Amino acid sequence: MNSSPPCPLPEKPSEKRFLTPAETTCLIAENGKRVLNQSTSRTLVLSLLAGFYIAFGAQLATIVTHDAAGVIGDGLTRFVAGSVFSLGLILVVICGAELFTGNSLLTKAALHGHITWSNIARNWVVVLAGNLVGSLLFAWMMFHSQLWEQGQIAERAIAIAQAKVELSFSAALIRGILCNWLVCLAVFMATAARDVSGKILACYVPIMAFVASGFEHSIANMYYIPTGLLLSGVSGLEAPHITWGGFLANLVPVTLGNILGGVIFVGFAYWYIHLRGTKKA
């Protein structure tokens, strides 16, 4: 007979302003069971929406900061970019969507025995594909909106993409690890918050921090680099390294880094602290 204590699920979460870390960890593990009953079509639509939402934040960051560095300096420009970029995760959390980087936390459910690792693999494949399609569609729409013709928006978008494709494999990998460490902490804190304002604040601070720090987010790069690629073909600016091959060379290490950062430093770490040795509720 298993004498381990039960998973500490909150009994009346609606009456609390926030959950403890142990309760949050358990709730995330319980929520992971959704992959068992959620249809592939539903997962795909939700992942498309997440691709759109992250792209909303990315394009907003590009437009808002395209001429800011000369006025407020590079540091504050990064802060502003991160502040408005946080819109993406706020939409994902509040409105509901399937984001590949946040789904690193599904490992809690697998480690606790609620789902299998094959369940996670299937979810990640569908969600990553949906996020990619959503991001590419949004990049295509922004290109044809012609908003990039205003001011130096096109130059800013190309500079962002250029900087990303010029990263070495190791730099992209490490920046990906650090990025999703913060993203998954944002999802963790948003789960702990019991009201909308708390969830928004929980999303804002870590996302602002990862963007301002210059870390790399795979889904955001699915918008940034294709946008730079589309613009470099018509704007007359030189961008020799922005190619589909360069996009893939960035996406692979960043995605691997995102997986490692979310799975090890948040998914596994908090399962080990709060759930290892407990039994399923």
Domain range annotation of the chain: 21-275
Give the number of other CB atoms < 10 A from CB of residue 113.
Answer: 11
Q: What mean pLDDT comes out for the span 120-135?
A: 98
Helix spans in 100-243 (H): 106-111, 117-145, 153-165, 169-192, 196-213, 218-232
Residue-wise pLDDT tens digits, 156-167: 999 999 999 999
Please answer whether residues 83 and 166 qualify as being in contact, where contact means their C-beta atoms are separated by less than 8 angstroms: no
Q: Where does 21-275 sit in CATH, by number?
A: 1.20.1080.10
Residue-wise pLDDT tens digits, 37-91: 999 999 999 999 999 999 999 999 999 999 999 999 999 999 999 999 999 999 9
Locate 150 and state its tokens.
Answer: 């205003």
DSSP letter (8 states) at residue 103: G
User: What one-letter code names the amino acid at 61?
Assistant: A
Please answer whether residues 89 and 57 qualify as being in contact, where contact means their C-beta atoms are separated by less than 8 angstroms: yes
Question: What is the pLDDT at residue 278?
Answer: 78
Percentage of residues of the chain with pLDDT beyond 70: 94
Residue 279's DSSP bridge partners are 6
Question: What is the pLDDT at residue 239?
Answer: 80
SS3 for 86? coil
Locate 39 and state its tokens.
Answer: 């249809």
DSSP letter (8 states) at residue 193: B
SS3 for 6? strand
User: What one-letter code names the amino acid at 46?
Assistant: L
Question: What is the pLDDT at residue 4?
Answer: 54
Residue 281 is inside which H or E element, if any?
none
Locate 109 and state its tokens.
Answer: 């459910």
Please answer whether residues 220 and 180 qualify as being in contact, where contact means their C-beta atoms are separated by less than 8 angstroms: no
Q: Which of 4, 114, 1, 97 is nearest to 55 (CA)?
A: 97
Residue-wise pLDDT tens digits, 162-211: 999 999 999 999 999 999 999 999 999 999 999 999 999 999 999 999 99
Please answer whether residues 226 and 136 qualify as being in contact, where contact means their C-beta atoms are separated by less than 8 angstroms: yes
Phi-psi category of residue 13: left, alpha or beta, with phi > 0 → left and psi -120 to 50 → alpha: alpha
